[in-house]
Amino acid sequence: MHTAFRINDKYYDAVDDVSIDLYRNEILAIVGESGCGKSTLATTVMGLHNMNYTKVSGEVNYKGKNLLKLKEEEYNKVRGGDVGMIFQDPLAALNPLMRIGEQIEEALVYHTDLDKEGRKNRTLEILREVGITNAERIYRQFPHQLSGGMRQRVIIAIALSCKPEVLIADEPTTALDVTIQAQILDLMGDLQNEINAGIILITHDLGVVSQIADRVAVMYAGQIVELAPVIELFENPKHPYTRSLLNSIPQLDNDDDELHVIQGVVPSLKNMPRKGCRFSSRIPWIPEEEHEENPVLHDLGNGHYVRCTCWKNFYFEEDEGEK
């Protein structure tokens, strides 16, 4: 799948040839720095881009249908019902002119046969499930009357209200304290077990990934650079970017006061290299010949894939004297 945005009448891929499967009853985590394409991938699956400024090609297959070929009315029957999404910015996702109860019930009106009383009862139930104890009061309030953490919980309630078979969670625990984070993660796990839901979890928190994910896809500069079962990825990371991310996590048993820093930044969409290894500029001590001219995902077995051959001879610059 490709998703390209228009800049000065030219289109640049923000999601570049990404192909990935999601299975029932699994949590697939997508990790990477801000700007690598994670959220763009999610909103493409949900069909939320303005086609006046965006080009989308490829397929998003669900139950034998390519969602990208559906008309808007047909897409609406899938979106919010079978496929739900927890958005990253709750203030932008909520309608400021509608009460919280109305916004949650809107999905229930469209996707269920519940009557008015049944919809209210389900709304109050899901509000309590996401950690809101005073559900009756929140039901009557407007988004601006809630804190950021409360709005985030409302967004999660909307996404979970119809018990979707596919849930896309874009930073679902942002702005929540650790206790509520644990509750939300447990709730997502319950949904997974109850209806065998497939969950795409987009996050920066590798601790959360290690706790609940089944597989992990590492994205960099619009591409998947590594894909593996969660235990395999943490115990045997291959791609230089994956290893750099993991090496950046502070370790309690490490007496070194210095944290590992990944050189450089993710290239801008307009200046992103379209040939060669896109991570090469951030590991300049690795010779150019170690990189593929057109990097592809290599199958290492047991569901482990890695892009480019540079991983074979990668080492951290600070370890060069020990090499």
Name the strand (E) or helix (H) holding 31.
Answer: strand 27-31
Does a structural domain hold residue 218?
no
With residue 220 as reference, give the H or E element that holds it: strand 215-220
Q: What is the pLDDT of residue 90?
A: 86
Residue by residue, pLDDT tens for the chain (323 residues) are 999 999 998 999 999 999 999 999 999 999 998 889 999 999 999 999 998 999 999 999 999 999 999 999 999 999 999 999 998 888 889 999 999 999 999 999 999 999 999 999 999 999 998 889 899 999 999 999 998 888 988 998 999 899 899 999 998 887 677 877 887 788 888 777 877 889 999 998 888 899 899 999 999 999 999 999 999 999 999 999 999 999 988 776 666 667 778 888 888 999 899 999 999 999 999 999 999 999 999 999 999 999 999 999 999 987 765 55
| Structural domain count, the chain | 2
Residue 231 lies in a domain: no
Are residues 276 and 152 both part of a single domain? Answer: no
- Confirm whether 306 is domain-assigned: yes
Which pLDDT score is estimated for 252?
63
Residues 138, 265, single domain; the answer is no
Residue 77 belongs to domain with CATH number: 3.40.50.300
Q: Are residues 129 and 185 in the same domain?
A: yes
Q: Is the dihedral of CA 246, 250, 254, 259 positive or negative?
A: positive
* Coil, helix or strand at residue 309: coil
At 261, is the secondary structure helix, strand, or coil? coil
Q: What gap in Å lies between CA 256 and CA 254, rounded to an integer?
A: 5
Q: Are 238 and 208 in contact, with CB atoms under 8 Å apart?
A: no
Assess whether 152 and 291 both reside in one domain: no
Residues 305 and 162 in one domain: no
In a domain, 153, yes or no: yes
Tokens of 318: 């600070």
Do 259 and 200 fall within a single domain?
no
Count Cβ atoms below 10 Å from residue 86 Cβ, excluding itself. 27
Task: Give 218's strand partners.
Answer: 31, 226
Beta sheet of 304-307, edge-to-edge order: 83-86, 166-170, 198-202, 27-31, 215-220, 223-229, 304-307, 297-301
Is residue 81 included in any domain, yes or no? yes
Residue 273 domain-assigned? yes
Predicted pLDDT of residue 149: 82
Could you give the CA distance from residue 319 to residue 323 in angstroms, rounded to a whole number?
A: 6
Instruction: Verify that 170 and 31 share a domain, yes or no.
Output: yes
- Pair (207, 243) in one structural domain: no
Q: Say if residue 86 is in the same domain as residue 171.
A: yes
Query: Pairing relation of β-strands 297-301 and 2-7?
Result: unpaired
Confirm whether 224 is domain-assigned: no
Answer with the one of 213, 229, 258 that is the final residue of a domain.
213
Instruction: Give me the sheet containing 54-57, strands edge to edge.
Output: 10-15, 2-7, 54-57
pLDDT at position 257 is 62
Q: Which of 136, 226, 152 is nearest to 184 (CA)?
A: 152
- Residue at 222 is within a domain: no
Token pair 């967004």: residue: 155
Q: What is the pLDDT of residue 322?
A: 55
Handedness of CA 210, 213, 214, 216 (dihedral sign): negative
Q: Are residues 146 and 257 in the same domain?
A: no
Q: What is the pLDDT of residue 100?
A: 97
In a shared domain, residues 164 and 83: yes
Strands (DSSP E) found in 48-196: 54-57, 61-62, 65-66, 83-86, 166-170
Domain span at residue 243?
239-322
Same domain for 248 and 195: no
Apex CA 56: angle with CA 5 and CA 201, to 5°?
90
Output the pLDDT for position 10. Answer: 94
